[in-house]
Amino acid sequence: MSHLLHRPFGAHGKVHEITPQSAGWRYVGFSLYRLRPGESAAEATGEREVILVMVEGKAKITGAGQDWGELGERMNVFEKTPPHCLYLPNGCDWRAEAVSECTIAVCSAPGVGGHEARRIGPEGIILTQRGKGANTRHINNIAMENEDYCDSLLVTEVFTPAGNWSSYPSHRHDEDDFPRITYLEETYYHRLNPADGFGVQRVYTDDRLLDETMAVHDHDVVCVPRGHHPCGAPYGFEMYYLNVMAGPLRKWRFVPAPPVEWIMERDAT
């Protein structure tokens, strides 16, 4: 199995824990909790800022010295309704108690304490279409660069219809050379509908020194340290993924793979 592909530890409790140390990079962290009603999860943010994403279900959450009440509304991620999220700066604690069965993503990156804790969504998160034809997908932007309430994190959800491609045309963001390109590490948390299906993700560099093609299943995580990283959803299976990106500059600038640059240019017209 590819070192970039992470299967969940199980189906209950903390099922993913990816740190900069375990991933061999500097910025992005990603954890995932799957809780039953009445169960809880709690962490300290330490030197990192965090966005909690209620992927599915409902939970009562406290954090940064405040009671945020019950967060969460969609019970199945493929409802495609906007998520309930919570931003927490570095240097605080949080706790979530499940009201229903729930899935909570913990997205993290270095924080400098420049922002206050706040709720994100569902208001203001609008499902938008990107791409054309078999490259069509739908995006819930949670915290991209237009939102200024984060120090480092860029977070978004993507829904890819069955039979379509996503994160395509192939592109990379692995150099610190703004405004041409930015260095951003990235994780993909995948879901499939029906859940027993699979998708495909490739991670490769132009020189092919890194060239991995992975079958991804429900609740898998793929790490993208560098290179291009397209995804494919086979006919009959819809794909969701939650992206977490971070790097030295909170800007998303990418360069397409040369063989597919013409597709990007054509579709931009």
Q: Which pLDDT tens digit goes with each residue over 175-206?
A: 999 999 999 999 999 999 999 999 999 999 99
Give me the percent of the chain exceeding a pLDDT of 90. 93
Q: How many domains does the chain have?
A: 1
Angle, CA of 251, 127 and 84, to the nearest 5°: 80
Q: Which pLDDT does position 2 carry in this prediction?
A: 85
Q: What is the CATH number of the domain that holds 63?
A: 2.60.120.10
Look up the domain containing 195 and give its range: 5-267
Question: Residue 269: what pLDDT?
Answer: 61
Q: Please, what sign has the CA dihedral across residues 189, 194, 197, 199?
A: negative
| Residue 170, pLDDT above cutoff 90 | yes
pLDDT digits (tens, 9 = 90+) for 111-150: 988 799 999 989 999 999 999 999 999 999 999 988 888 9
Residue 1 identity? M
- Tens digits of per-residue pLDDT, 41-88? 999 999 999 999 999 999 999 999 999 999 999 999 999 999 999 999
Q: Could you tell me the pLDDT band of residue 28, with boundaries at 50, 70 and 90?
A: very high
What share of the chain in percent tops pLDDT 70? 100
Please name which of 166, 182, 162, 164 lies closest in space to residue 174, comparing C-alpha atoms.
Answer: 182
